[in-house]
Structure 1
Amino acid sequence: MRSPRLRLVALAVAPLMFLAGCSTEGGADDSAASSDDAAATSAAPTGDVEDLAVEDPDGKPSITWDGKPVADGDLPFSVAQTAVKKVNEGDGKEVEPTHEVQARYLAVNGTTGEPILSTFDADETVSLDLNNENLFPGFLQELPGLKAGDSLIMALPPADAFGTSGNSQIGVGPDDTLIFYIDVVSSAEPLTEATGEAVKPKKGLPEVEADGKSPAKITVPDDAEVPDKTVAQVLIKGEGPEVKAGQTLKAHYTGVTWEGEPFDNSYDRGEPTPFPIGVGRVIKGWDDALVGQTVGSRVLVVVPAAEAYGEKQSDDASATTAPGQPPEHELAGEDLIFVVDILGAS
């Protein structure tokens, strides 16, 4: 049997809103153009961040310009360089250049005045990994040195956001200034492996040896039986927040077949893998097993074929796929075992 990489369908990068290399037009090279070149194509400054303010009715903030909603102002609102206005002073831990920041935010398009995205409505946070070179240049510059509890308004020209390509997927043009209200909740060095309290696994499950730095060694006892439904066994209970459906998970993982043959792991790629969870974008066994776990946990996940890539339809190598149907996955019919270190969720 071949050893294909696990296919995580339509991987999401979290959070898309803040990644300069995720424009739907052009690539990362376009977004990485020099600040001088990008600024030269930006609209002339028409706004002052000092004229912006935040109204917070019932914890769902909105941004105003000269006392009115931005959409009712003398648009467009644009700046030539990143500008920041502090709204509240925090007294928590200081953000370091290598930290992963947990934040809430509201984003508004300065050209149209319309809100783009907000995490306040659902009272959720996003993770901003300052080690990610694709994060908005404006954030990489301005977030270090802030403190937990700080809130601020930030106006970013194209040069410090998506670059000259904009992001048509969320309605941002190549000349649009982005206006953010950001609430810094916390920050810390990003997790690189599971950390927390060790949990004794139930008998009859595959046995795991893992150091968090290299692919886990997974051994299937002779008397072990494939479960009818996905089984999730916590090996280390993390102390982070609970994973919710719809979030993007960041994880290191190892995958082997029931026969013990390795077919994929993230360690060989040198970095954790991001993927959406609980929304049908990965195999059902992962959605079922990982939603509800806590960040920092190590989880053994045993997935029967029906909840992985499905049962094998035919043993005939010459069999063809019906028109319009995707080809059968190389792991169809295989019962799979994973060890997953959950390193972040946003």
Structure 2
Amino acid sequence: MTLLHHPRRAGVVVTALVSAIAVSACGSTDKDQASSLQDKVTVTGKYAEKPTIKIDTPLTVKKTTAWTTESGKGDEVGADATTILGLTIADGRTGKTAISTHDAGQRPLEVKLGDQVFPSLTNSLVGRSADSRVVVASTSDDAYGTTGAPQLGIKKGDSLVMVADILSTDPTKILDGPTGKSLPAPATAPKLESSDDDLSRLDFSGLAKPKKFAVIPLREGTGPAIENPDRIAADYIGQVWGAKEPFNNTYGKEPAKFSIGLGGVIKAWDQGLAGLKEGARVMLICPPDTAYGKTAQPGIPANSTLVFVIDVLGVG
């Protein structure tokens, strides 16, 4: 059981897109059509920032088509990957930008491709690399269907242009364990106990429970650093301060995958993992206000101080 995730309050962008976009589309890379559409759609601006979209209106899209304006060198997006996007949508009829995750008060969009959310978009992302900018010219049927999206000013039958910056995706190369220089833990930190070379539990004997959040590096790591937001793969053990056994332990199993920097994990993970390098091992001391606070979880009483040891095995 994974206990790290928090229910996320969806912003306007996420709510509008999830509720309105159809679920039966597929993208195309037909060269002739792509060339024709690229002549009518101009996208400018820096990757990972809100683009300027200029459209020769009204834009007629006979088949959903995608192309890349900037090719990254990050991990490749898999068919079932969870991907973090910066997304901007423009109305092909009017040329107006309808909505963007880059706007104030919004956050990047986390999309699991296998769930068939935004198929006219997500099918166009498979096989492309993180750090790329992808433009999707979508038919109305492949986007908002027969209803349009009046809350965004998009009418029935309007084509759409979607500009997706692939900020991160699931790591495709995952380490077997931490790398880099080992670092000494302070005497006040819990001791790590192992079984068959895997971490099995933490020992709190003789230690006073701390009151402050702490990040204790145990291995430096040698790979790329975690940015906000990023997808990561990790092994971890989590234990309530003073408990005899962990409430969660992934060692000896498949590494878990998480999004960091989107508020989907406990505050301590978002704060404590940002900037760590792939291959790092870290201990997080998490008072209640950085974990679950007054809300009890399975195996975690209310107002618990938690301790995690985390191996960052991949950064997407």
State the TM bucket, normalised to the shorter chain.
0.5 to 0.7
Aligned partner of residue 289 in structure 1, secondary structure? helix
- Which residue of the partner structure matches residue 90 of structure 2? 108
**Aligned counterpart for 1:24 among listed residues 19, 23, 48:** 19
- Which residue of the partner structure matches residue 5 of structure 2? 8
Bigger Cα displacement from structure 2, 136-145 vs 262-271: 262-271
User: Aligned partners of 1:200 and 1:142: how far apart in 2?
Assistant: 43
- Which residue of the partner structure matches residue 262 of structure 1? 246
Q: Does 1:52 align with 2:41?
A: yes
- Which residue of the partner structure matches residue 199 of structure 1? 182
In the TM superposition, residue 87 of structure 1 has moved relative to its aligned partner by 4.4
How many aligned positions are there?
Answer: 292
In the TM superposition, residue 224 of structure 1 has moved relative to its aligned partner by 2.9
Q: Percent identity?
A: 23
- Which residue of the partner structure matches residue 163 of structure 2? 181
In the TM superposition, residue 199 of structure 1 has moved relative to its aligned partner by 2.9
- Which residue of the partner structure matches residue 52 of structure 2? 62
User: Aligned partners of 1:142 and 1:127: how far apart in 2?
Assistant: 16
In the TM superposition, residue 229 of structure 1 has moved relative to its aligned partner by 0.8
Bigger Cα displacement from structure 2, 218-227 vs 285-294: 285-294
| Cα 1:80–1:206 shift into 2, 3 Å | farther
Maintained 8 Å contact 1:49/1:153: no
**Aligned counterpart for 2:65 among listed residues 52, 77, 83:** 83
Aligned partner of residue 24 in structure 1, secondary structure? helix
**Aligned counterpart for 1:338 among listed residues 299, 303, 308:** 308
The C-alpha deviation readout for 1:59-104, integer Å capped at 9, x for no partner, is: 86411123xxxxxx44xx453421135546x596895756888876
Maintained 8 Å contact 1:251/1:344: yes
In the TM superposition, residue 107 of structure 1 has moved relative to its aligned partner by 3.3
Maintained 8 Å contact 1:52/1:153: no
User: Aligned partners of 2:217 and 2:55: how far apart in 1?
Assistant: 50
In the TM superposition, residue 181 of structure 1 has moved relative to its aligned partner by 3.5
The C-alpha deviation readout for 1:146-176, integer Å capped at 9, x for no partner, is: 5788755321236655777888998878865
Normalising by structure 2, what TM-score?
0.62
- Which residue of the partner structure matches residue 154 of structure 1? 136
In the TM superposition, residue 109 of structure 1 has moved relative to its aligned partner by 3.7
Maintained 8 Å contact 1:309/1:331: no
The letter of the residue matching 2:89 is: A
Q: Does 1:301 align with 2:284?
A: yes
Aligned partner of residue 39 in structure 2, secondary structure? helix
**Aligned counterpart for 1:232 among listed residues 215, 224, 230:** 215
| Cα 1:6–1:172 shift into 2, 3 Å | farther
Q: CA RMSD in A?
A: 5.3
Maintained 8 Å contact 2:215/2:283: yes
Maintained 8 Å contact 2:217/2:281: yes
Aligned partner of residue 186 in structure 2, secondary structure? coil
The C-alpha deviation readout for 1:82-139, integer Å capped at 9, x for no partner, is: 1135546x59689575688887664324356224225599xx9988776x45464345
In the TM superposition, residue 336 of structure 1 has moved relative to its aligned partner by 1.4
In the TM superposition, residue 335 of structure 1 has moved relative to its aligned partner by 2.4
Normalising by structure 1, what TM-score?
0.58
| Cα 1:261–1:12 shift into 2, 3 Å | farther
| Cα 1:117–1:310 shift into 2, 3 Å | closer
| Cα 1:115–1:6 shift into 2, 3 Å | same
Maintained 8 Å contact 2:233/2:257: yes
User: Aligned partners of 1:241 and 1:23: how far apart in 2?
Assistant: 31
Structure 2: which 5+ runs fail to align?
27-35
Maintained 8 Å contact 1:149/1:185: yes
| Cα 1:284–1:156 shift into 2, 3 Å | same
Maintained 8 Å contact 2:180/2:279: no
Structure 1: which 5+ runs fail to align?
37-46, 67-72, 312-326
- Which residue of the partner structure matches residue 117 of structure 1? 100
| Cα 1:218–1:198 shift into 2, 3 Å | farther
User: Aligned partners of 2:201 and 2:150: how far apart in 1?
Assistant: 44
User: Aligned partners of 2:75 and 2:291: how far apart in 1?
Assistant: 43
